[in-house]
């Protein structure tokens, strides 16, 4: 039962934070949506900032668990990342809110994960599988820039159909392929 309440709070907080960011989110709305008391929320998470961090960590863990990192096929990784982030409610918006608010450092596990992935890309570069013109960290940053590109543009995403999603996937595949294919 304890875990159910905690999970409901995390789910409600994910929705609230993804729609309003940390500053605009309201603990009252989270508690009502989670069917939990504010006291229970504070007992589990301490404060709104810590709850935001917990939601970010959970989203990052979900991403890492769902999207296999394929350093020898970074185009496939980019496409899998795009698919996950465009179909997983709230995760992309949470990441964007965290970046806008300067809270990227709040995802404690992200730093070590990135360092590990940089080393794997460097190995793929040394093996001649990935273009070594770029630094590995720059390459991963550019890949995510391509994956996130539509989410950061100032337009409505409410009417994106499967045809458009397919077109975007082709663009991502082509752009990332051009970045990573050895020259």
pLDDT given at position 154: 66
Residue 134: domain span: 53-180
Residue 150 half-sphere exposure toward CB, CA atoms < 13 A:
16
Residue 74 lies in a domain: yes
Residue 26 lies in a domain: no
17-41 per-position pLDDT tens digit: 988 988 899 999 999 999 999 999 9
Distance of CA 34 to CAs 23, 49, 80, 171, Å?
19, 17, 30, 39
Indicate if the pLDDT at residue 85 is higher than 70.
yes
pLDDT bucket at 108, cuts 50 / 70 / 90:
confident
pLDDT bucket at 88, cuts 50 / 70 / 90:
confident
Mean pLDDT of the chain: 90
Residue 57 lies in a domain: yes
* CATH number of the domain enclosing 60: 1.10.357.10
Residue 46 lies in a domain: no
The count of structural domains within the chain is 1
Single out the residue of 40, 32, 37, 39 nearest to residue 15, CA to CA. Answer: 32
Residue 45 lies in a domain: no
pTM to 2 decimal places: 0.87
The mean pLDDT value for 110-129 works out to 95
pLDDT bucket at 15, cuts 50 / 70 / 90:
very high
Residue 23 lies in a domain: no
Residue 27 lies in a domain: no
**How far apart, in whole angstroms, are the C-alpha atoms of residue 31 and residue 136?**
42
Residue 25 lies in a domain: no
Identify which of 48-62, 63-77, 96-110 has the greatest average pLDDT: 63-77
**How far apart, in whole angstroms, are the C-alpha atoms of residue 125 and residue 127?**
5
């Amino acid at each position: 039962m304890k875990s159910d309440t905690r999970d409901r709070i995390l789910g409600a907080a994910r929705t609230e934070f993804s729609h309003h960011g940390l500053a605009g989110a309201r603990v009252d709305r989270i508690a009502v949506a989670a069917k939990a008391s504010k006291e229970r929320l504070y007992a589990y998470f301490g404060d709104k900032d810590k709850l935001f961090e917990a939601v970010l960590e959970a989203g990052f863990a979900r991403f890492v668990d769902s999207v296999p990192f394929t350093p020898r096929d970074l185009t496939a990784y980019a496409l899998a990342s795009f698919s996950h982030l465009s179909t997983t409610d709230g995760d992309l918006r949470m990441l964007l809110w965290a970046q806008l608010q300067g809270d990227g450092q709040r995802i404690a596990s992200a730093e070590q994960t990135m360092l590990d992935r940089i080393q794997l890309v460097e190995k793929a570069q040394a093996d001649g599988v990935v273009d070594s013109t770029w630094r590995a960290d720059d390459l991963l940053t550019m890949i995510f820039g391509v994956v996130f590109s539509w989410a950061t543009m100032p337009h409505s995403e409410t009417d994106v159909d499967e045809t458009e999603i397919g077109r975007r996937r082709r663009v991502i595949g082509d752009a990332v392929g051009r970045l990573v294919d050895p020259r």
